Structure 1
Amino acid sequence: MVYYEVQFLPPVQGEWITIKEFDDSTGALLPLSDSAEQLSLEEAETRLMDLSKKYPFLTFRINKVIL
């Protein structure tokens, strides 16, 4: 089984974090705290594009997970 995650690289911590989204009202990162969300490649690409457009100054990537 293969699924995808969108990850964010915080400038301070330097470790990739799997994320769901950012809270627009506070700007806070909403990490994905469980593995219940398993995205298709298309869903991951869409989320990556949306986050990259909203936050062009941050670094994101798609991570492929193989079970």
Structure 2
Amino acid sequence: MSDSITERTPPVIAVEINMIKQQTEKVVLNNAIEIGRRLKVAKDLIPYGEWGKWLAESISYTERTAIKERDNL
């Protein structure tokens, strides 16, 4: 029995890199959606006028960043 090992060539490495990129994009997208969901829930719970302060103190987001994340839904 012989184990065949794929030769490491630039095209093989490119395929590996592209697979890793694709996996990373999926993870980032899923996490952005989850962040957006949680921001929406938090905004509904935080008293009026306290949203910006909560964002800055709790998660280091500006309101603009939070809106962008929330709109990823």
TM-score (norm 1): 0.29
Larger of the two Rg values belongs to structure:
2
Which structure's relative contact order is higher, taking Cα pairs within 8 Å and 6+ residues apart? Answer: 1
Name the one with the larger helix percent.
2
